[in-house]
Every structure is written in C-alpha cells, then in structure tokens.
Structure 1
C-alpha cells in the first residue's frame, strides 16, 4: 500500500484513500477485458492522483464555509426549522481505482454518492440503508413543498419525504421503498456520445426514438459493421486528444482558457509532478457502454453489469471494492433473476421502474 504525503489537517482522510496500488492490482482473471488489459498505475501517475485528491479535499473547506454561512443565514431570519437541506454531488470520480481515472463507469466510486438531508421534522444523526437515486430528488422536492406533481405517473423516482421525516413505517422497511435501481451508460464514447450501444433496445416506434441519428445501423444482412463491433467489444480509450492538448500546453476539453486549471497545472509542477504523470492522470478512459442493476435484499447488496463483451457480478456486502467478479461462479437462478429485472428497468417508465422485491440468493465469493 502506498503512503500518501501527510498534510496535517487531512492526514487521516488521505491515509484512508491510500489504496491506489491495491485497487490497481485487481486480479486480471476476474474482470472484463477492458479492465484487465489496462496497464498498472506507475509512480508518476500515482503521485499525480495523490496531488489531485489533496487539492480536491482542500476545496471542500470552502464548501464547509458556504454551508455554515447558509445555516447561519437561515437561523438569522428564523427559517432554519422551516427548511429542508439536501447535500449531494452529481457524480463520483475515480483517482486510480480499478486502474481508471474519471467517472462514467458503473463502479461504486462513480455512482455511490454522499447524500445528507436535514429535515426539520426528522431524527438527527441517523444513517439509513434505503436504496435511493437522483431520480428521487424531483418528486421529493415537490412533495416537501406541497406541490402536486402533474407528471407523477411518468416519473421513475419516489418521494423520500416519509423517510427523511422519520415516519416509522417508511424508516423500518427499506425493502418497501426500493431494492433495485438502474445504472446505465447507453452511449459508448462518453462525452462525445457519437453513437448508441448495441445493448440499447431498438425503439418500438422509430418516429419516437430518443437516440435517432445516433443509433448504429445494421448491414443489409442484419450484422453489425466492423467499426461498431470494434468500439463495442474492445472498449474505447479517449486519450489521444487529451494527451496531445496537454503536451502542447493547450490543455484539454476547452480548459485552455480556464485560469483555474492553468493554476492547477502550475501548482502540480511546483510540487514536483512530472508532465507525463499529469497527462496520464488527466486521461479519462471511457469504457464501453453498459447496463447495470444495483440491488439489496435482506442486508446483502449486489451489482450486476452487462457489457457487450461480458458480464460482472459483485457481492458488494462481501466485496465493497468490487475486486472479485463472481459472475462465472454465482448460482444461475441468481443471474436469471438479476438479468430479468435489469431487462425490465431498461425500458420501463414511471411506477413500473420501482423494484420493491427481488428474489435473490447470496452467492459465495469465488
């Protein structure tokens, strides 16, 4: 395990994340091809990841100050006990985990986010096991505001008001809220979104296709063109543009005029980081498209992911870092249940997207 530099105010937090090499050394036989074929993280890249984590942690001090100021302002006007406060980011971010940087994957580093709510009615300091998603935010906000939702029947989310207000029935029975949630990346090339994965079910009504113009076209004989198969089954490294711009001092993704990013590179160099290390740590590797199902039942959590080139299944309770893909050894009845539920979630709408029961059996880790 690598030791991170010790900045006194955050020493313990940083040491807790000192697992770049451990996560990077994921067993090659257990992962899908685009993961197991990735090179191991070298020292230059690891140093760049360490520095990036340090700077990200430091920015949270300003977030703490902002939250404190908001709470004091609400107290000053007598509205704190009439206000719900929600705190969550938009996505997670890998800094070397699974030998990857960035987001876009179905791994917990990207999709499992901090989510805190202060309710003027609910209990304080309570940690709940309920499986919730960002699709639940809109119905929750409308509910706490007392606004009728004209699109309630179309929404995939569920209001969390009863849970965060401490309703005993809602709090004590998380399986009645939800036990399965969809995790998806239907496009194969990340930010560019050039075309839709062949995993995406074809539109029932071609005139109402949300992916019109971005769906790959089959050949006259019904097969897929070679370039589609290459992108789908080999994964895609979106590195060339990033590396070229960084090495030419033009930076990447339009950040060449961003003073903050320029300052970040200057600070990194001042702290002894190499240009090659910065480049490799800045590269985001966009995997092939996927559909995933995250489930929990009777205290056991699972992650099931379908890729064009394979499958992954993790027992998150026994393997929270998702290092051991047990798809090949799990009971087939478990795989069948997970696949059937995921197939439903791929095309569902509204209330049919809420999975409140799932027949799963805990597999033994391989």
Structure 2
C-alpha cells in the first residue's frame, strides 16, 4: 500500500532542484534583519508576514519585467560577505528541510558588487554559505548536495567575465553558467563569445529561454549558443499542435528538443505568475510530460512565488492526478540532467532517489 500523497509525505520524498535563484529565496525575516543591519531602507514593509505577502502580490502581475523588479530589495541586502553567507546557508538548510537532496542554485555575481566585493569574493561567499548550510542541515538530520550556477545578466556586458569565473571555480562546487533577465530585446546570441568560450572549456551551461519570449529564443539558445538545458522552455509548446482526437504533432524544433532529451527547467507557479502559463492545471508541463519530453520541476524563486519543491509537486498532484511514480519520474529526469559527473549522478539515483520512492510506494 503506497503512502498517501499529501504535502507532508511529499516533503519526505527525495527531490532534485535545478532552477532556483539565490536572491529569490530569502526568508522574509532574514530580509528585514539584513536590511536593518546593512542600512537598506527601501523595504515595502518591516513586518515578516506583510513583506512576504507584498512579494507574492507583486509576483502575480502577469509580467516578467514587473516580477524582476522585486529583486531590487533582495539584492539590496546581499552586498557584503556576511549577508551573502547567511542567505546561502539558509538556502541550503531550507532546501534540505524540504527534502531536496541535490540542488543547483544560481546567482549573478555582478549584482553583488555595489559595496566593493570583487566577483570572486561574491562567489566564494556563496560557496562558504552553502558549505555552512550543508553542515547545519546534516546536524538537523537532512542531507543535501548543493552547488552553484553563475548567472550573467542578459542586458549587461559581463557574460564572458562571468563565464571565466564559472570555469575558474568549476572544481569548487560551481556547476556551470547561465544567463537571465528580460528576454525580449536581449537575445542569447548577444553573449555568443561567452558560450563559445564555455564550449571550448568543456563547461556546462543553461540559458533562460522560452519563458517571456517564444520559439526564436529557444532556437537561438540551442542552435546558436549550444545550451545544455533550457531555463523554463515553456513556449516550446507553441511548436506542438493537437488534433481533435488528442494526437500531437511536433514541429521541427519541438521534435529536436524531445529527440535530444534537452532538459526543460519548468517552474509551474512562477510560470503562471509571469504569464507564461494560464494556470497550473493548464500549464504545458502536462502535455510535455505526456509526450515524454525531459521535463523537470523547479521553484525558480521561493520568496516571490511563495513556493517550495513540496508545494510545486503537491500542486501538480492536485492538477494532474500524478502519483508517486510520476514524481519519481520528474526527479530522475532532474538528476540525469544535473551538471554533475555521471558516476556521482548515478550514485544519488541508486542510493537516495530510487530507495526513497520505493519506500513511499510500499509504505
């Protein structure tokens, strides 16, 4: 008899998270305390519940640009080593408590240098915070492997510099590279120099594409830039047509994405908030899973979206009637797609994920 699918039981399931922004996951109380300590005086509220509510309301605007504005406040308090270490440590602890056993958390070093930190010092601060958080999580009885993705902002001009930083720290739990920010008007091909450098260095990278902008963004990310994974990739559904009898016909790009098993880093709640999907029940994740695309489930920004991996999975269970086998399928997809050496991925799959779901299926 399988364990009942509830938020409490789903929280105990081993999960893998590939798309989570460090500056999008602060605890409201931490944000308030760091603002006070660092002299940041622009917070919309200094009461934790009200502040959390403000972020959620701002996020449900239906606009990616409006959604991105909320990061002014979180980045504003992450400008010194101690603050960054605290945020990174709490990130590791919060994810571990939510049942995440492997995570790749991204951040943009260039956004944290306003008070004099160098790019390398920012990266080292995050890694030190992750290490401290992993130890604290273990003391609380939770295991997690957490690594960093270094993000360059697509409207800026520091992508090559950030790419070089990702390669320099590749043996210190920096898993790879990413670009993020508003898609429209800032195509990934603007950063071709960075991507060509990364490919020469045999480095991994993902690209935010197919969220606020459509198929051309996905096509460029893959065929011009050579992305290993797609951040969101929701709009690949625009290249799929459904007949009256429910059969699907894939266009050339959608067919390529499926054939090549290109991972889609989907974040249902965030996609609804930014207008990339109408609702969880109507999210393309349903049809993409049915068609066996390499779909993964992610949080994107836990503070702005008021979500966790547990709540994302619970929402999918409620919307699509998924069972433990489906949640395990999403989790295995994510672990197979991680920027981690093959033998290490296999070990987590065999020693942690499969036994964890087997226990839930037979509880």
TM-score normalized by the length of structure 1: 0.22
Mark the structure with the bigger radius of gyration: 1
- Which has a greater percent of helix? 2
Normalising to structure 2: TM-score of the pair?
0.22
